[in-house]
Protein backbone atom coordinates (compact mmCIF):
# COMPACT_ATOMS: atom_id res chain seq x y z
CA UNK A 1 0.00 0.00 0.00
CA UNK A 2 2.79 2.42 0.95
CA UNK A 3 4.73 1.51 -2.18
CA UNK A 4 1.64 2.05 -4.33
CA UNK A 5 1.10 5.52 -2.81
CA UNK A 6 4.74 6.39 -3.42
CA UNK A 7 4.57 5.26 -7.06
CA UNK A 8 1.34 7.21 -7.64
CA UNK A 9 2.87 10.32 -6.07
CA UNK A 10 5.95 9.96 -8.25
CA UNK A 11 3.86 9.50 -11.40
CA UNK A 12 1.76 12.59 -10.69
CA UNK A 13 4.90 14.58 -9.92
CA UNK A 14 6.49 13.32 -13.13
CA UNK A 15 3.45 14.36 -15.17
CA UNK A 16 3.41 17.76 -13.50
CA UNK A 17 7.12 18.22 -14.17
CA UNK A 18 6.71 17.37 -17.85
CA UNK A 19 3.83 19.82 -18.16
CA UNK A 20 5.84 22.53 -16.41
CA UNK A 21 8.84 21.86 -18.62
CA UNK A 22 6.91 22.52 -21.82
CA UNK A 23 5.60 25.82 -20.42
CA UNK A 24 8.85 26.93 -18.89
CA UNK A 25 10.98 26.09 -21.92
CA UNK A 26 9.25 28.91 -23.71
CA UNK A 27 9.61 31.32 -20.80
CA UNK A 28 12.76 30.42 -18.90
CA UNK A 29 15.32 27.90 -20.18
CA UNK A 30 16.86 27.58 -16.68
CA UNK A 31 13.52 26.55 -15.19
CA UNK A 32 13.68 23.35 -17.23
CA UNK A 33 17.10 22.57 -15.77
CA UNK A 34 15.84 23.20 -12.24
CA UNK A 35 12.82 20.98 -12.85
CA UNK A 36 15.04 18.25 -14.28
CA UNK A 37 17.28 18.46 -11.22
CA UNK A 38 14.25 18.20 -8.94
CA UNK A 39 13.09 15.11 -10.83
CA UNK A 40 16.52 13.49 -10.50
CA UNK A 41 16.59 14.19 -6.76
CA UNK A 42 13.11 12.76 -6.28
CA UNK A 43 14.01 9.68 -8.30
CA UNK A 44 17.11 9.13 -6.16
CA UNK A 45 15.03 9.43 -2.98
CA UNK A 46 12.37 7.06 -4.30
CA UNK A 47 15.06 4.52 -5.20
CA UNK A 48 16.43 4.71 -1.64
CA UNK A 49 12.92 4.28 -0.23
CA UNK A 50 12.24 1.33 -2.52
CA UNK A 51 15.49 -0.29 -1.41
CA UNK A 52 14.49 0.07 2.26
CA UNK A 53 11.06 -1.45 1.56
CA UNK A 54 12.60 -4.38 -0.28
CA UNK A 55 15.17 -4.96 2.48
CA UNK A 56 12.43 -4.96 5.12
CA UNK A 57 10.37 -7.45 3.11
CA UNK A 58 13.40 -9.71 2.66
CA UNK A 59 14.17 -9.53 6.38
CA UNK A 60 10.58 -10.55 7.19
CA UNK A 61 10.83 -13.45 4.76
CA UNK A 62 14.05 -14.69 6.36
CA UNK A 63 12.53 -14.43 9.84
CA UNK A 64 9.45 -16.36 8.74
CA UNK A 65 11.57 -19.11 7.15
CA UNK A 66 13.78 -19.32 10.25
CA UNK A 67 10.74 -19.78 12.46
CA UNK A 68 9.38 -22.43 10.10
CA UNK A 69 12.67 -24.33 10.18
CA UNK A 70 12.73 -24.14 13.98
CA UNK A 71 9.20 -25.54 14.13
CA UNK A 72 10.05 -28.40 11.76
CA UNK A 73 13.22 -29.25 13.71
CA UNK A 74 11.33 -29.14 17.01
CA UNK A 75 8.82 -31.62 15.60
CA UNK A 76 11.76 -33.93 14.80
CA UNK A 77 13.17 -33.44 18.28
CA UNK A 78 16.08 -31.31 17.10
CA UNK A 79 16.99 -27.65 17.43
CA UNK A 80 19.32 -24.93 16.17
CA UNK A 81 22.51 -24.38 18.12
CA UNK A 82 22.35 -20.93 19.70
CA UNK A 83 25.32 -19.55 21.55
CA UNK A 84 24.25 -17.67 24.65
CA UNK A 85 26.50 -14.95 25.91
pLDDT digit of tens for each residue in the chain (85 aa)? 777 887 788 888 888 777 766 665 666 777 777 888 888 999 999 999 999 999 999 999 999 999 999 899 888 888 777 777 7
DSSP category for residue 80: -
Indicate whether this model's pTM tops 0.85.
Answer: no
Q: 56 near 6, Cβ under 8 Å?
A: no
Amino acid sequence: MLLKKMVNRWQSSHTHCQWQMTLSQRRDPYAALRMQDAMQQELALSNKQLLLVRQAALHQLFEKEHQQYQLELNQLGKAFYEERL
